[in-house]
């Protein structure tokens, strides 16, 4: 009989799953020493609703599982589609908003860096492409912003307008199946950068704006308040990560960061906004935009007086 190097622990002990964050995670053990392996190596008991399974290198025998769930293969858009989307000739409210507070050169560099394109889904909408560090295009997220305020535009029901490129292509019959597996917005930036500190925020808009306000960091976005999770952050595990949650989300992100740091991440959660008097939902860019506009107005008034 073959002696396997690793196996799933057959005791009743469970850990926090790095994906679904439930205490349903069974770790791999090294059979000779009977010690647990770290770094998220194991399997979640919630096979149908989570399905997380990460294996170490070496011979493995799985214990105490009735069936194996085949992993869903992620779908990707082509880079050619991203290039073609730059040719869409329509108004872009978000880019116009950027032009109102930054120079044309700064805005052009940011648009090219993050591959921000226009969409005809809604008048003035933008496409924010999720591209990973292997240049695989995971998704195209379509969002609509107000040209003057930079805030999200909402429907008559009060919901922010959001759609996906793959959903539109499916409706048009261009593609039939697409298994969406998102990644961090801005993840592609680590490929050709020597910067070793990543600033992590929730929204794509904030990541772009912060790249203009504070270019000494690589700025990425989780895309949602629930996006601070193992599978998203794994590609940037070797980086120092400073997370800037929106006001009122600090405690949630702090708890998740502590769990991830248990898997050898290096995440610091900034609490400046949480300790401020700003209203809930305020993000870092909101504050800096107001400060920038105040400076612009002051300069304009001073020039007029002169």
pLDDT at 66: 41
pLDDT at 40: 79
Per the CB < 8 A criterion, the answer to whether 93 and 126 are in contact is yes
Which ranges in 60-139 belong to alpha helices (H)? 79-85, 93-101, 104-114
**Paired tokens of 135:** 């240049």
The DSSP symbol for 185 reads B
- CA–CA distances in Å: residue 243 to residues 138, 195, 286: 22, 16, 16
Please enumerate, as own/partner, the contacts of 155-160 that have beta carbons within 8 Å and a separation of 24 or more: none
pLDDT at 3: 58
- Averaged over successive runs of 10 residues, the pLDDT of the chain (306 residues) comes to 69 83 86 77 80 68 45 87 90 96 96 96 96 96 95 90 96 94 96 90 97 96 94 94 96 94 94 93 91 74 42
- How far is residue 182's CA from residue 112's CA, in Å, rounded to a whole number? 21
Strands (E), the chain: 6-8, 25-30, 35-36, 42-44, 53-54, 60-61, 117-119, 125-131, 137-143, 162-164, 197-201, 218-221, 240-243, 266-269
pLDDT at 72: 65
pLDDT at 304: 42
List the Cα angle 41/42/46 in 5-degree steps: 140
Strand partners, 197: 240
The pTM (predicted TM-score) of the whole model is 0.78
pLDDT at 52: 82
pLDDT at 71: 56
- How far is residue 29's CA from residue 10's CA, in Å, rounded to a whole number? 9
Per the CB < 8 A criterion, the answer to whether 142 and 117 are in contact is no
């Amino acid at each position: 009989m073959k002696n396997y190097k690793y196996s799933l622990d057959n005791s009743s002990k469970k850990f926090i799953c790095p994906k679904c964050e439930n205490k349903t995670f069974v770790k791999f053990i090294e059979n000779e020493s009977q010690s647990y392996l770290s770094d998220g190596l194991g399997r979640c008991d919630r096979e149908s609703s989570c399905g997380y399974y990460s294996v170490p290198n070496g011979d493995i025998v799985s214990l105490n599982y009735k069936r194996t769930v085949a992993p869903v293969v992620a779908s990707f858009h082509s880079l050619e589609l991203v290039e073609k989307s730059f040719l869409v000739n329509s108004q872009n409210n978000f880019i116009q908003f950027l032009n109102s507070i930054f120079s044309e050169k700064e805005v052009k560099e940011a648009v090219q860096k993050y591959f921000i394109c226009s969409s005809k889904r809604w008048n003035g909408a933008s496409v924010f492409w999720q591209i990973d560090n292997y240049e695989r295009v995971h998704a195209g997220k379509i969002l609509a912003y107000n040209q003057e305020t930079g805030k999200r535009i909402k429907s008559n029901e009060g919901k922010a307008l959001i759609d996906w490129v793959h959903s539109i292509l499916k409706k048009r019959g261009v593609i039939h199946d697409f298994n969406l597996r998102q990644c961090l917005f801005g993840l592609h930036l680590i490929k050709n950068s020597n910067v070793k500190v990543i600033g992590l925020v929730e929204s794509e808009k904030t990541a772009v704006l912060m790249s203009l306000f504070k270019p000494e960091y690589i700025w990425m976005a989780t895309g949602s308040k629930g996006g601070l999770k193992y599978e998203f952050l794994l590609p940037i595990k070797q980086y120092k990560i400073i997370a800037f949650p929106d006001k009122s989300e600090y405690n949630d992100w702090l708890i998740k960061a502590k769990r991830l740091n248990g898997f050898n991440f290096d995440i610091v959660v900034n609490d400046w906004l949480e300790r401020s008097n700003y209203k809930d939902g305020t993000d870092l860019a909101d504050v800096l935009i107001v400060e920038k506009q105040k400076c612009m107005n002051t300069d304009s008034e001073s020039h007029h007086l002169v």
